[in-house]
Homo-oligomer: A and B are copies of this chain.
């Protein structure tokens, strides 16, 4: 058997601890599968004295994570610090500059600096791997870059944030309001103290931009992801969606068409018979559509120490086996710089929710706004609103151009009969 593969591990939080435990618990199995042992020789974390329940007695400790790259007894650096810049980025650059392989779970860093790092890795023939950065334990990076490699991929979408999925699922199952579930999730450690990255869709956008690059052979363009989170989703929306045969999910969706790249993160109404509708709780799920393979679905746990460690170590085993591929599926120079698609030109069905004064003529006004813009209505529900006597009007449009729907919505919002900000959600007819 070959010499062990020696790991320098930066970050000993939930995931870092999981990696240490996994490599210890399954050491024999991994060595047989990888053809060599995989051992952690050096670690770095913020607090040396914290009890993490893992044995680090045989492992060197570095106060400065970025110095892991320089150690002679480290072949591969695993970065689990997080953050798009700062020490994580410094460590990535130093590791590649030192001619070593780099494994990361850091979607924010890849979304912002992935092309730069991939270019360096490629120029030096080094592995740069990130299975854990998207959809946690689900091997979707491998699925896209190796499993579907024969295919022109036209679309990739899914549920990429377990926190949002957990919140929406609990709202539905327990009939709770968003704020209540969020507070509970924070107390239980399922959501961050500052939940913005998750619930405002930014984390999903990071992951989506990486999937899009890989799927389409395109340059990462995180800045072009139209991003909307789940703060505006009310229990009433979930109920009305259910009545109409849908479940609300935070969906990240990317497509290419006519040389343009469409990327959007948004709460969407998913038909109940679509596989994404069945992925509840903290599950993640990714759908990718290839021209030969058709629609593939990958589903599993998107976060947590075990699943994320599983993905990190899968990358390490690939490196131990000597397997390597281009970071984004093809040479960086071949990745196309695709201009963003014009979202207003899209066509689909839309869910609209308006809070209106409960007086005669309001419904006529709303429906006239849609008529004026050539949008026809598939379903309409009007209900008295418990809170303040206002009425709630929910509509699902027939297929219509998005620009027309937005214009109709603007016309409605300008009416003094409309008392709250109108909400529009997309219907996932895929």
Smallest CB–CB gap between A242 and chain B, Å? 15
B-contacting 9-mer, from A67-75, A83-91, A286-294, A376-384:
A286-294
Smallest CB–CB gap between A291 and chain B, Å? 7
Complex contacts, A131 vs chain B, CB 8 Å:
147
Complex contacts, A326 vs chain B, CB 8 Å:
33, 35
CA distance A189 to B295 in the complex (A): 22
CB–CB B26/A150 < 8 A: yes
Which of A279-315 touch B at CB < 8 Å?
290-301, 306-307, 309-311, 313-314
CB–CB B146/A29 < 8 A: no
Complex contacts, A310 vs chain B, CB 8 Å:
148, 150-151, 290, 292-293
CB–CB B150/A146 < 8 A: no
Once A143-B147, A326-B33, A330-B32 are accepted as A-B contacts, the answer to whether A293 and B278 lie under 8 Å apart by CB is no
Complex contacts, A296 vs chain B, CB 8 Å:
137-139, 298-300
B-contacting 9-mer, from A51-59, A316-324, A388-396:
A316-324
Complex contacts, A311 vs chain B, CB 8 Å:
293
CB–CB B294/A307 < 8 A: yes
Smallest CB–CB gap between A198 and chain B, Å? 20
CA distance A361 to B17 in the complex (A): 63
Report which of B33, B34, B150, B300 forms a contact with A313, defined as CB distance below 8 A: B150
Q: A179 within 8 Å of B by Cβ?
A: no
Q: A3 within 8 Å of B by Cβ?
A: no
Q: A16 within 8 Å of B by Cβ?
A: no
Q: A63 within 8 Å of B by Cβ?
A: no
CB–CB A26/B300 < 8 A: no
CB–CB A294/B301 < 8 A: yes
CA distance A329 to B142 in the complex (A): 16
CB–CB A330/B33 < 8 A: yes
Smallest CB–CB gap between A149 and chain B, Å? 5
CB–CB A34/B309 < 8 A: no
Complex contacts, A290 vs chain B, CB 8 Å:
137, 310
CB-CB contacts of A140-156 with B at 8 A, as 1s and 0s? 00110011111110000
Most B C-beta atoms less than 10 A away, residue of A34, A293, A318: A293
Most B C-beta atoms less than 10 A away, residue of A30, A34, A292, A329: A292
Would you give 9 A-B contacts (Cβ < 8 Å), ordered by A?
Answer: A29-B217, A32-B217, A34-B149, A131-B147, A137-B290, A293-B307, A293-B310, A294-B301, A297-B297
Instruction: Beyond the given A273-B278, A292-B313, A323-B324, please list 14 additional residue pairs across the A-B interface where CB-CB is below 8 A.
Output: A26-B292, A142-B146, A142-B147, A146-B323, A148-B310, A150-B309, A150-B313, A150-B316, A278-B278, A293-B301, A293-B307, A295-B300, A296-B300, A321-B325
Interface residues of chain A, those whose CB is within 8 Å of chain B, are 18, 22, 25-26, 29-30, 32-35, 131, 137-139, 142-143, 146-152, 217, 273, 275, 278, 290-301, 306-307, 309-311, 313-314, 316-318, 321, 323-326, 329-331, 334
The 3 closest A-B pairs by CB, nearest first: A139-B147, A150-B313, A293-B310
